[in-house]
Amino acid sequence: MRVSALFSQTLYQAPSEADVISHQLLLRAGYIRQLGAGLFSFMPLGKRSMVKIEDIIRQGMDAIGGQEMEMPVVNPAEVWKRTNRWFEIGAEMARFKDRVGRDMVLAMTHEEVITDIALHEIRSYRQLPLMVYHIQTKFRDDPRPRAGLIRVREFRMKDSYTMDRSWEGLEKQYRAHYQAYFDIFRRCCVPCIAVKSDVGMMGGKMAHEFMYLTPIGEDTLLLCQQCGFSSNRQAACFVKEMPPAEAQLPLEEVFTPDCKTIAALAEFLRVPESKTAKAVFLIATISADNRDVEKFVLAILRGDMELNETKLVNAVKAKDLRPATEEEIRAHGIEPGYGSPIGAKDILVVVDDLIPQSPNLVGGANKPGFHCLNVNYGRDFGADIIVDIAAADEGCGCPQCGAPLHLSRGVEIGNIFQLGTRYSQAMGATFLDEDGQLKPIIMGSYGIGPGRLLACVAEEHHDERGLVMPISVAPYQVYMVPVPGKQMDTLAMAEKLYQDLKAVGVEVMLDDRDERPGVKFNDADLLGIPLRLVVGERALAEGGLELRRRDGKGGWLVPPDRAVELVREQIGRMLAEIEETVQPVDYSG
């Protein structure tokens, strides 16, 4: 590639809306261009890196028995209705009608489609196990795209799907993906950890997310340094310290003026927040009989804890959740700021599992300016659902060993799900087992986002001068800078070397622009190409060409007649360094 012909240009500054370093550098280096919120074009450099990332993913999937296929991004709504996800997923699913009025979907994921195919292709247990995958464009109408490629609306995704006759078979394929994902991310030079996660809209039995730890991450993780426990905060359980036993005291109404928050209430009554009951009022959108209905939810947990909305969504099987307005709260017989289930009507009460063990709490009296002392579950109010709905936080006890948990931030770069029979049962995808019985196919689903992975490469590998791309995913391996000379024809020498390198398969950029050397060197650094080869009189006078690693791990003068050989040798050494990081990992199932 001649830089003069490259269909992109470097930028001195990134646009002001680029707020994270990966977004800034990928824009400045000309890897991507933004069309709209969460919508990006991959320029030639970015596309080459994406192809390399996708090829690494393909190699990982092929190594564990995957067969590549491709499924359509436009789906008829009927297949999504058969699993009920047409009704369960909210506005992030892009719906439209075709020219004859049929409901259609832009696929966010392909569980329904692959299950529909399996329904027609799988007949016997002899065809199982199976694994297929595809890498394809998807669309999710995210309301808050952010951080460049980290959170977008249109994106590339590798989906793989496994089909088994037994849970043991699913577990084997799940573990194979677990290891393959670590291998893929290490070959892309992105460090990560695996954490247990909520199954979310995918459903199923178990899920793990693969997280790149970074302060810009939108996911909050709970990590135990003692035993290695890790979990997304959305799904994290923790040890809840049981309060001491007390005899139930009589209910007593008390005047609490201007105490509409837990902090104000605890300070006014001079009690710890752990002796109060927090009431949270929400409107849940729940799918019932193939239509959406809104239900008023009153969630109660101890005052020293925060609500985990993901746990609550799962508990009430909601597709959406929003805060209730004051008008909606009063419509159910509840006083905002002083609310409780006492006297409330037509509500769904969900209490945290610690509430029944917490005697004599302070709770709302449902009267302006009043609370009740000595509120006790079972005597003074009941619940429709008792379940853990509290959010784990820094210092909470690890559910495995009891040691304090620590918070960290991360970007999800992959996920794996044990779907089980959630889709096969809904769609009738069965196989005839060797005992002559029809049984549902047991399935798994596994995703990686190549675009997000490219962003994490940029977040991890950069310095003050620009990108420092790993050679496994860099768009080119060598950036050649000819420096015009007075005594030697360095341009002709660079041209011959360029052709010689290409002839042996080296991916090389020749900066043939009529620019000052400093401009070329700055662009070489910004683009992050792993090796820089300078053809100039000064180095030639000293006996060679200047070969330097962008990551700062070496620089050499190489004889011109051995330049091709030594460049290839260095490329091989850099690739081998990456491959040495690919090691077996412990499976924390």
- The pLDDT tens digits for 386-430 are 999 999 999 999 999 999 999 999 999 999 999 999 999 999 999
**What are 353-386's pLDDT values in tens digits?**
999 999 999 999 999 999 999 999 999 999 999 9
Q: What is the pLDDT confidence band of residue 351, given thresholds at 50, 70 and 90?
A: very high
Residue 202, pLDDT > 60, answer: no
Pick the CATH number of 476-579 from 3.30.390.10, 3.30.830.10, 2.60.40.420, 3.40.50.800: 3.40.50.800
User: What HEC string does 112-144 produce?
Assistant: HHHHHHHHHHCCEHHHCCEEEEEEEEEECCCCC
What is the structure's pLDDT at 214?
A: 93
Q: Tell me the one-letter amino acid at 165.
A: R
**Domain 17-70+109-236+406-459 belongs in CATH node 2.60.40.10:** no
DSSP H or E run through 447:
strand 442-448
Q: What is the mean pLDDT of residues 168-177?
A: 96
Q: Where are the domains of the chain?
A: 17-70+109-236+406-459, 252-386, 476-579
CA-wise closest residue to 126 among 98, 164, 93, 92: 164
Residue 537, pLDDT > 90, answer: no
What is the structure's pLDDT at 203?
A: 57
**Domain 252-386 belongs in CATH node 2.60.40.10:** no
Distances (CA, A) of 369 to 255, 269, 327, 340, 361: 6, 13, 18, 13, 17
Sorted by sequence, the CB contacts under 8 Å of residue 7 that are 6+ apart come out as 43, 44
**What are 108-160's pLDDT values in tens digits?**
999 999 999 999 999 999 999 999 999 999 999 988 898 999 999 999 999 99
First to last CA, the chain: 46
Residue 495, pLDDT > 70, answer: yes
CA-wise closest residue to 302 among 405, 374, 404, 389: 389
Lowest mean pLDDT among 179-183, 433-437, 584-588: 584-588
**Phi and psi angles of residue 28, each rounded to the nearest 5 degrees, phi first:** -65, -35
Q: What is the pLDDT confidence band of residue 205, given thresholds at 50, 70 and 90?
A: confident
159 vs 236, residue with greater confidence: 159
Judge whether 112 and 77 are in contact, CB under 8 Å. no
Could you tell me the pTM of the whole model? 0.86
What is the structure's pLDDT at 499?
A: 97
Q: Which two tokens stand for residue 259?
A: 């105490």
**What are 243-298's pLDDT values in tens digits?**
998 999 999 999 999 998 999 999 999 999 999 999 999 999 887 777 788 999 99
Lowest mean pLDDT among 37-46, 205-214, 439-448, 564-573: 205-214
